[in-house]
Amino acid sequence: MNENIVEWTGYIAMVTLMISFLMKDIKKLRIINTFACLMFVVYGFMLHSYPVIISNAFISLVNLYYLWYKKS
């Protein structure tokens, strides 16, 4: 996989994350944050950086928990 594609996808996800944060839409914020974290998990695998993989996978799981089980 091309590193530039993963890197630019992460940038796009972060910009969208900031926009949804300004809109104060928590559900969209969590969805986009999960997407961005999963992109950085892939990027961490490419760099063999296990702290990046573990931290972003944990954030993704927390976001998915709140999206699926918490009705707020």
Residue 17's pLDDT is what? Answer: 65
Please tell me the predicted confidence (pLDDT) of residue 2: 63
Q: Which of 48, 51, 53, 56 is nearest to 13 (CA)?
A: 56
pLDDT tens digits, the chain, 72 residues: what are they? 566 766 676 677 667 667 766 777 778 778 878 888 888 788 778 778 788 788 888 888 888 888 888 765
Alpha carbon distance 44, 19 (integer Å):
25
Q: For residue 48, what are the CA distances in angstroms to 2, 9, 10, 16? A: 15, 19, 17, 26
pTM (two decimals): 0.63
